[in-house]
């Protein structure tokens, strides 16, 4: 299941990279550079193990949090958001909301994996004129509340003025 969560996460990232403009090599280089920036996300390391910069995964039950900066304006990112979701992703809630005083686009939904149904939540926030911050949290359906609370806390730590 750990591999499934990582694969789903990479699928989201791949869909965003593929959706970008024709100068893909330059965009990928910028995306890789931005991915290396530590977002100083506060994550409960008793529940989640660090896999890479801004990516944490739990062993059992299955859950994951990830933050990243994408080379896309906030406006373009939210315009493309729903069209770039992986096949089988079922949106259950989508809309802009204020979070910690920041205008945020939130998207919630589920996706089926070979091991079961995964709950997903994503938040997009404007970082500067050319980039936005994306937070993703995933957990298997029925996970203990402490994991969903930890995902919410990690999101709150990354979304700030």
Please state the pTM of the whole predicted model.
0.83
CATH number at residue 142: 3.40.1000.10
Query: Can you give the residue range of the structural domain that contains 137?
Result: 2-158
Contact 131/72 with Cβ under 8 angstroms?
yes
Contact 139/63 with Cβ under 8 angstroms?
yes
Count of domains observed in the chain: 1
pLDDT tens digit at each of 161 positions of the chain:
445 555 555 545 544 444 445 477 777 777 778 878 888 899 999 999 999 889 999 988 789 999 999 888 999 988 888 778 888 889 999 999 999 999 999 999 999 888 789 999 999 999 999 999 999 999 999 899 999 999 999 999 999 86
Number of residues assigned to the chain = 161
């Amino acid at each position: 299941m750990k591999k499934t969560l990582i694969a789903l996460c990479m699928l989201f990232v791949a869909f965003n990279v593929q959706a970008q403009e024709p100068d893909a090599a330059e965009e990928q280089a910028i995306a890789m550079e931005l991915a290396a920036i530590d977002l100083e996300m506060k994550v409960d390391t008793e529940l989640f193990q660090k896999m890479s910069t801004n990516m944490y995964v739990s062993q059992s039950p299955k859950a994951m949090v990830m933050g990243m900066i994408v080379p896309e304006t906030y406006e373009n990112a939210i315009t493309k958001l729903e069209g770039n979701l992986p096949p089988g992703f079922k949106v259950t809630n989508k809309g802009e909301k204020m979070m910690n005083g920041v205008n945020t686009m939130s998207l919630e939904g589920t996706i089926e994996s070979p091991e079961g149904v995964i709950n997903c939540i994503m938040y997009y926030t404007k970082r500067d004129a050319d980039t936005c911050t994306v937070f993703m949290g995933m957990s298997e359906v029925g996970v203990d509340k402490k994991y969903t609370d930890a995902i919410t806390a990690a999101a709150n730590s990354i979304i700030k003025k």
